[in-house]
Amino acid sequence: MDKVETGRRWHDMGGDAAGPVPDAQHDFALWEKRVDALMVLCSGKGHFTVDGLRRVLEDMGEEAFETMTYYERWIASVSQNLVEAGVITQSELATRMEEVAARGPTYGEASGG
Amino acid sequence: MPHDHLSPSGHPYRPDQDHPLTYWQQMEIALRELLIEKGVTTAAEIQSQIEAMDARTPANGAAVVARAWTDPSFREALMADASEATRGMGFDIGPMRLIAVENTAEVHNMIVCTLCSCYPRNLLGLPPDWYKSRAYRSRTVREPRKVLAEFGVELPPGTTVRVHDSTADMRYIVIPARPAGTEGLDAAALAALVTRDSMIGTGLPRQP
Amino acid sequence: MAERVRVSTRMPIGHVRTPAYLRGKTGVIERTLGPFPDPERLAYGQEAQKFPLRRVRFTMAEVWGDQAETPDDTLDAEIYEHWLERVE
C-alpha cells in the first residue's frame, strides 16, 4: 500500500517486501564510536532522549536512510537535538566546523589525533 | 601492506584517519570540542565510554546463556526478571528493561526492531549491520522462516516461530536450547558454543 | 483467560512507536510492563505522562490474513495503553 496515501511513514517498514538480508559487515571507525559515545553521554545527562534521536532520524527521511551511513545520520540527529535543547547554537557549530576543516585534509589532522 | 585496512577481527575498517575529512566527521569533531568546552562532558569521559562500549561483546550474553543452562535457580530468575538477573552478573542494562525468551523443542524465538534497530547492547555489543538493514527489519515480521532459511536455520517440523518486534522500552535476548551431548561441559565450555546470532534467534548454538 | 485487545487504527503525524502493520489487529496481552513515559511526548522534549506498556501477542493469521507464511506462528510487540481498546 502506498505509504503517503495512508499516512504510514517511511521508517515504519515492518511487512514490506525487500531483498535478501545483506551479510556485509564493517567494524566501526573511531569517529563513529565517538558519535555513539556523545549520544550515550548527552542523553544520559538529560539533554535529550533516545526518542528525540529517533524523531529526528525519522524526520530526516528515507533518502537520508538510503544515502548516509548509520553514524552520519546519528551525528546529524544528535547535533539537531542539542540545538533544540539550547546546549549549542547552529552558528557556533558551523563556525567550529570551518575551523576544524582548516586544520588539515584528513580526520587525523583535523581532530588533532 | 595487504593488511592495512583490516581490523583485528578481519573486517574492513570504515574510512577513517587517513582518508579525506567528510562533512559529518567535521561535525563530530566540532560538536565534541564544543561539548567539552561547555563542560557538558570531558575527553576522559568520552574515552571511557568508548572503552566500555568496546568491552561489551556477545561473550556477555553467552555467559548469561551458559549460566541459565547450568543453574536452574538463575534460569528461573532470568525468565522472571531478566534486567535484575543480568544486573546481578554485572551487565547493567541501564534505563532499558530486558526480557529473556527461551527456545524449546516446540518454540523458536526471533528478535527484530521494525521501527529502528533496538538491540541489547549491554549483552551483545553494537548490532551487526544486517540487523539494521531494510531487508531484516521489513521481512522478519512477515516471513520469518524465509529469513531464517537465509541464515541457514532449518527448524524441525512442528516448531512454532515467535517473532518479537522490539517496539518500545524492552530489549530481548534469546536463550537458545542447550545442544544435545553437552551434559559433561562446564559453564565456560558451554559459553563457547553460544553465538551472537543464536541470541538474536537467527542462529543456533554450535555443536560441541 | 487472556485479555483480548485491539490496536487503534489511527494514523497520526510525528513520532509514534506503534507499527502500522499492527494497527486494527487483535491480540492477547502476554504481560504488562511499566508504566513508561509516553514516547510521543518525550520525542519533542516535553513532560510525558506514563502509561502501562502491554506486550501483545498476535497470530500471523491475524496480522497477515491469507498471506501469512505460517498462520499459527506468533508476533509479539509492545504497545502503549493509549493505543489499545478492550475486545469482548
Residue spans of chain C under pLDDT 70: 1
- Whether C59 has its CB under 8 Å from any CB of chain B: the answer is no
> Which of B16, B132, B136 is the closest to A29 by Cβ?
B16
Segment B92-116 shows an average pLDDT of 93
Dihedral over Cα of A39, A44, A48, A54: its sign: positive
| A6-58 tens-digit pLDDT | 899 999 999 999 999 999 888 899 999 999 999 999 999 999 999 999 999 99
Q: Exposure string (b/e) for A66-82, b if CB count within 10 Å is 16 or more?
A: eeeebbbbbbbbbbbbb
Rounded (10°) CA dihedral A44, A50, A51, A53: 120
How near does any CA of chain C get to the CA of B132, in Å? 16
* Secondary structure of residue A94 in the 3-state scheme: helix
Radius of gyration for chain C, computed over Cα atoms and rounded to the nearest angstrom:
14
Q: Which residues on chain A are in Cβ contact (under 8 Å) with B19?
A: 106-107
Residues 6+ apart with CB under 8 A from A110: A100, A101, A103, A104, B21, B25, B26, B29
Does the distance separating the beta carbons of B97 and C70 come in below 8 Å? Answer: no
Confidence of residue B142 (pLDDT cuts 50, 70, 90): very high
Counted residue by residue, chain C has a size of 88
Q: Parallel, antiparallel, or unpaired for β B170-175 and B160-165? A: unpaired
Domain boundaries C4-86, corresponding CATH code: 2.30.30.50
Chains contacting C (3+ CB pairs below 8 angstroms):
A, B
Question: Could you give the ipTM of this predicted complex?
Answer: 0.97
Closest Cα in chain C to A80: C44
Chains contacting B (3+ CB pairs below 8 angstroms):
A, C
Does the distance separating the beta carbons of B50 and A14 come in below 8 Å? Answer: no
Dihedral over Cα of A13, A18, A23, A25: its sign: negative
Domain architecture of chain B: domains with CATH:
23-54 (no CATH), 57-200 (3.90.330.10)
Cell of B56: 561489551
Is the Cβ–Cβ distance between B56 and A40 less than 8 Å? Answer: no
Residues 6+ apart with CB under 8 A from B112: A14, B136, B137, B140, B141, B163, B164, B165, B166
- Only one residue has cell 513520532, namely C15
Confidence of residue B16 (pLDDT cuts 50, 70, 90): low
Q: Structural domain boundaries of chain C?
A: 4-86
